[in-house]
Amino acid sequence: MDKLAIQVQALLFAEGGALTFKSLTKSLGCREGDLKSALASLARTLEGTGLTLIVSDTEAVLAIAPDAKDAVLKKATEEYERDIGDAGLEVLAVLLYEGPSTRATIDYIRGVNSSSTIRTLLIRGLVERSGNPLDGREFIYRATTDLLAHLGVTEREKMPEYGTIAPELTAFKNSQEASQNNYAAESTSITEDAI
């Protein structure tokens, strides 16, 4: 597989959804003809694997290959039927009271890795993700309108005790950041004194 095809595969994988030819050519700095050749090369490379490339007149997306869809569907069904548990409730609480957050922020507030919990909440349609305009390497997660409707509120600010919990969460986050900044400053000072 040529370098351009590898880059196309990486971009489609990172996006997790369809990308337009216009977006791909702009990101890769190539012509549409070169992109189409790279897409054809990528499609050939993916034959016989668990992934396939779907290409329309204007966009391309990586998808589950037909031979692998039953296994993926079974796994997704297991995830969907599993109770979200305390971890799921914690992530939802962060998103409902803190607001849209990156996974790093969610992990920081909870003190543990939230990847699998977020995946479960995404599958259930309780959380949605979008690109982070400040950092293209990460996503922003937010509570869905379906979740708000299920909870019987029209906006996050109408969650129970929102006026109390949201400021406390912000204060907690700020105090933790201040502690880390003080620790970093002390470590730097000790290191400089040692030198």
Ordered DSSP codes for 24-56: HHHHHT--HHHHHHHHHHHHHHHTTSSEEEEE-
Q: Which CATH architecture best describes the domain 3-68?
A: Orthogonal Bundle (1.10)
Distance from chain centroid for Cα 57: 27
**CATH of region 82-189:** 1.10.10.10
Q: Does the model's pTM come out above 0.85?
A: no
Rounded to whole angstroms, the Cα distance separating 76 from 108 reads 27
176-185, pLDDT tens digit by residue?
776 666 655 5
54-100, pLDDT tens digit by residue?
999 999 999 888 888 888 888 767 766 667 889 999 999 999 998 89
In the chain, ranges of CATH 1.10.10.10 domains? 3-68, 82-189
What string of H, E and C letters represents the secondary structure of 103-135? HHHHHHHHCCCCHHHHHHHHHCCCEEEEECCCC
What is the four-CA torsion angle of 67, 116, 98, 183, rounded to 10 degrees? -130
